[in-house]
Amino acid sequence: MSESRSKDKVIHIALAGNPNVGKSVIFNQLTGMSQVVGNWPGKTVKKAEGKCKFKNYIFKIVDLPGIYSLSTYSIEEIISREYIVEEKPDYIINVIDVNQLERNLFFTIQLQMLNRPMILALNQYDVLLQRGFDIDDDKIEELLGIKTQKVVAVHNRGVHELLEKIIEIEEGGEINNSKPIIFGKEIEYEIQRLSSEITSNEFLQEDRYPLQFTSFKILEDDEHIKKHLIESKENQLDHFLYIVEEKRKNLEDFHGETISTILNSEIYNIANHIYEESIIIKETSRTFKVRNFFDHITVHSIFGYLILAVVLLGTYYLIFKFGDMISDLMDGLFSNLTPGAEQILGGEENWIYKLVWNGFLGGLFAGVGGVLPFVIPFYFFIEILQDIGYLPRAAYLMDRFMHRIGVHGKTIIPILLGFGCTVPAVSACAIMETEKQRKKSIIISSMIPCSAITTIVMGLVFKWRGPWVTLVLYLILLSIIIAIGKILTIFSDVDESELIIELHDFRVPNFKVILKQTWHRSKEFVYLALPLIIIFGILMEIFVEFNLLEWVNFLLSPVIEHFLGLPRSIGVFLIYGVLRKELNLVLLEQFVKSLPAGITMVEYLSTIQMITFTLITLLYIPCLATFITIRKEVGKKFARHLLFFRLLGATLIAGTVYWIYQFVSNIKPNWTFEYQIAITILIFFVFLYIVVLLFGKLIKHRGKGKRRRFHRFKEFAEIKSCDNCSKFKK
């Protein structure tokens, strides 16, 4: 086997481990491929593949989903287990967080039972030293029979040594020498008996899994293995499964626990023994004491929320100060170059000038100056917060609030991602345990203002009307999200299980990784959105030149002009926004600049019109990429319904705010705008509360009616003793 591999110089490796242990970082360091490095469970739902050439060997590397065990409770566990069993990689690199050694070894011991050649990567070794501990990796090798390597993945220390250890095994002709797992007396006895039963009966023999793993999982009542055996052996397993059930029941009666608890405790006992034998206590460093202080204060019941508010507000302030500065510079540059362009291209009435300068270069300047300065810094700061380990603490703090608005605490994970882009936020909803939870999370997370929408809010409302009106918009959006959460709660009870998330130690950010991930997230805009902005900028000039915009705007005018109170010409830009939300504002700005009157945006739209336009942008149809993702995750029927209700709800809400303001301004024309808008928002909140209350009572009333009809039907079916009773009961 060794000679064969040396000849073709190809070795297949699977990276396996718990979520957030650094598998993707090691994958990136080895392959150089771009892979999202996240701190969230369930992020790498599909395996990522890459190649690496090292010392005359070609390593084909697969980054498997992060999982905690080899049970089959989730799709990630099934993907990882089936890949290892079916594809049979030459080696498994089991990446563990050495600071959580005991818990990580729970997965390692299960991997050992699969009897595949394995290397143990002891990652985040530097953090362990800072915490005042060290580890005896030779002792771990002695106890497990697995080669180990201390690794600091983010700084690329010890990563390529993992490959060197594999090459040593290859060229040395060593055979997998991992030691067999020996459980406690009662469990080991039953596993041995099951193994003997399987070996002695030909129809029970299972060549996909090793014997010990098969026996252990059958005893555990693993549905996946049991189903496979039943399908392949038909009815020959009845007696064997009866024996297994008897053994399982005897163990549960003896220990007073469920079989899964008993078997998990056995694995943890082994992991604890390895931990106690290998961990070395040293003196805690001063650096770690400082980090430990920040670790506690950032999740404090009072100071934690204050820090969260400062971090979020500070991040947004820095982003938009920088964005405004660059945007003003680009606007000034465009204005200064315009007179020269008019002379070269034949004047502002020439169609070449309109297409080249207003359309092509106008779109380029609008995208580079009006969007990129906001998008790139946003991703940069998000990556910093993620890399230092703050985002999990933000999720922990917001867990209780998420339950209050009617969704599971885990929804905070896609929500935080949604502030960057809604597409990964929708994909991250896969971490929910049930389909109902996933759909509710998709509804809520798809309403979070992504970086594109935030660019519109800040580039329009914040720029022209200041922070006060911007705050009003976000308060309206928050109240709508809470209202929708409460309405969703009416249809199904909220799962009150708490959020379980790992709070890693704070660490020094790796700016090389941060910059790489910032570019990875931002390049979609550069490659996709920027060309679209330029193309649609040119198309808009063509539409204006041939007066085609008027036809589109005429068809939309009953809603846009008469119900929402916006200028008729706004309609076409809302259609553009379905492709990319930035197009709403960018193309509107280009249109306003092209108007012959030479007016500015603040002259084209009044303050209430800016609020209405931004509200409809915040709430209506999500962008095309988000819609496609929703359809892929939960089906086209749900996606269509969500699309319809989002469009209808956004129109009604934006129109309601506009007409409430008109009512207030007509009643009290002498009030300042600030007072008028404050009363408008107050009336809107009361109106929204009444709608949710009435809707809830209506649904509950219908539910009670259905339950009463069900009970009457049930009593009727029980009383009847005729032959057709079975039909009623069905």
Give the residue from 122, 42, 117, 30 showing the smallest Cα distance to 74: 42
Amino acid identity for residue 331 in this structure: D
Q: What mean pLDDT do residues 34-50 have? A: 49
**CATH code at 185-281:** 1.10.287
Beta strand 57-63 with 10-17 is parallel
According to DSSP H, which parts of 9-144 are helical? Answer: 23-31, 75-82, 101-113, 125-130, 137-144
Domains 2-172 and 185-281 equal at CATH topology level = no
Q: Is the pLDDT of residue 368 over 50?
A: yes
Amino acid identity for residue 347 in this structure: G
With bands split at pLDDT 50, 70 and 90, how would you rate the model's confidence at 234? low
Start-to-end C-alpha separation, the chain = 60
For 476-506, the pLDDT digits (tens) are 888 888 888 777 776 654 444 555 566 667 7
CA distance 454 to 219: 53
Which residues make beta-bridge pairs with 135? 279
What does pTM read for this prediction?
0.63
With bands split at pLDDT 50, 70 and 90, how would you rate the model's confidence at 136? very high
CA distances from 262 to 218, 254, 257 (A): 14, 10, 6
CA distance 15 to 491: 41
Which residues make beta-bridge pairs with 66? none
Q: Is the pLDDT of residue 110 over 50?
A: yes
Q: Is the pLDDT of residue 350 over 60?
A: yes
Amino acid identity for residue 631 in this structure: R
According to DSSP H, which parts of 201-302 are helical? Answer: 211-219, 223-233, 238-255, 259-278, 286-297
For 389-443, the pLDDT digits (tens) are 787 787 778 777 777 766 766 677 677 777 767 776 776 676 665 677 778 888 8
With bands split at pLDDT 50, 70 and 90, how would you rate the model's confidence at 277? very high
Q: What is the model's pLDDT at position 233?
A: 56
Give the residue from 526, 516, 555, 653 showing the smallest Cα distance to 28: 516
CA distance 140 to 143: 5
Mean pLDDT estimate for the chain? 78
User: DSSP of 584-624, one letter per residue?
Assistant: HHHHHHHHHHHSTT---HHHHS-HHHHHHHHHHHHHSPPPH
According to DSSP H, which parts of 422-548 are helical? Answer: 422-428, 435-445, 451-456, 463-491, 511-524, 530-545
| Residue whose pair of structure tokens reads 């209808």 in the numeric block | 648
Asked if 107 and 70 touch (Cβ cutoff 8 Å), the reply is yes
For 289-335, the pLDDT digits (tens) are 677 778 788 888 888 889 888 887 888 778 777 877 887 788 788 77
Reading the block at residue 651, the tokens are 């129109």
Between 646 and 34, where is the model more confident? 646
* Percentage of the residues of the chain whose pLDDT score is greater than 70: 80
Compute how many other C-beta atoms are within 10 angstroms of the C-beta atom of residue 580.
23
The yes/no answer on whether domain 2-172 falls in CATH 3.40.50.1820 is: no
For 654-681, the pLDDT digits (tens) are 999 999 999 998 988 888 888 888 898 8
Q: What is the model's pLDDT at position 44?
A: 39
Largest CA distance in the chain: 96
Helix (H, G, I), strand (E, B) or coil at 16: strand
Amino acid identity for residue 367 in this structure: G
Helix (H, G, I), strand (E, B) or coil at 12: strand
- Residue 276 backbone phi and psi in degrees, to 5: -65, -30
CA distances from 143 to 15, 184, 711 (A): 22, 16, 62
CA gyration radius, the chain = 31
Q: What is the model's pLDDT at position 659?
A: 92
Cβ-proximal residues to 17 (8 Å cutoff; 6+ apart), any chain: 23, 66, 94, 95, 96, 104, 107, 121
| Domain residue ranges of the chain, discontinuous segments joined by + | 2-172, 185-281, 304-696
Amino acid identity for residue 323 in this structure: G
Beta strand 57-63 with 48-54 is antiparallel
Helix (H, G, I), strand (E, B) or coil at 131: coil
Q: What mean pLDDT do residues 375-386 have? A: 80
CA distance 650 to 222: 47
Q: What is the model's pLDDT at position 727?
A: 36
